[in-house]
Homo-oligomer: A and B are copies of this chain.
Amino acid sequence: MGFRQGITISMTIQRFESGPRMSQAVTYGDMVYLAGQTAGTVEGTGVTAQTQEILGEIDRLLALAGSDKSRILTATIYLADIATFSEMNAAWEPWVSPDNKPTRATLEAKLAAPEYLVEIVVTAVKSAS
């Protein structure tokens, strides 16, 4: 078969829940990028509760973008106080897909408002369709 064949794979960028500054999810091809997620309810909560709420929001956004937590490649976790590392893990460990653990880095960083104790960024790929 002595011919060369041009291959075009359609790759478009899709953006979800865009506000004035950012989108909450962006997909390109089968890659899924989520914005840094913080908890919506912060009054009187602790790190474990905020992490649980964030992980639920990540589930929701991944579903919106055609993925799920078993398809997460990487996670970056920012804690306002690194001393709350085990409180964050108390929510993370039961949530993460047991056979599909992403890479992870956890760091201390002050977040956009002092009531935010945790922020999580994940990158995933779409679920097989």
Contacts and interface: CB of A to CB of B under 8 A. Distances in A.
Query: Taking the full assembly, how many copies of this chain does it contain?
Result: 3
Contacts of A105: 35-36, 76, 78, 119, 121
Given A21-B89, A26-B102, A103-B121, 8 more contacts: A21-B93, A21-B104, A23-B101, A33-B74, A78-B105, A78-B107, A82-B112, A107-B109
Interface stretch (A7-15, A43-51, A52-60): A7-15
Interface of A: 1, 3, 7, 9, 11, 13, 15, 18-26, 28, 30-31, 33-36, 71, 73-76, 78, 82, 85, 89, 92-93, 96, 100-112, 119, 121, 123, 125
A1 B1 CA distance: 11
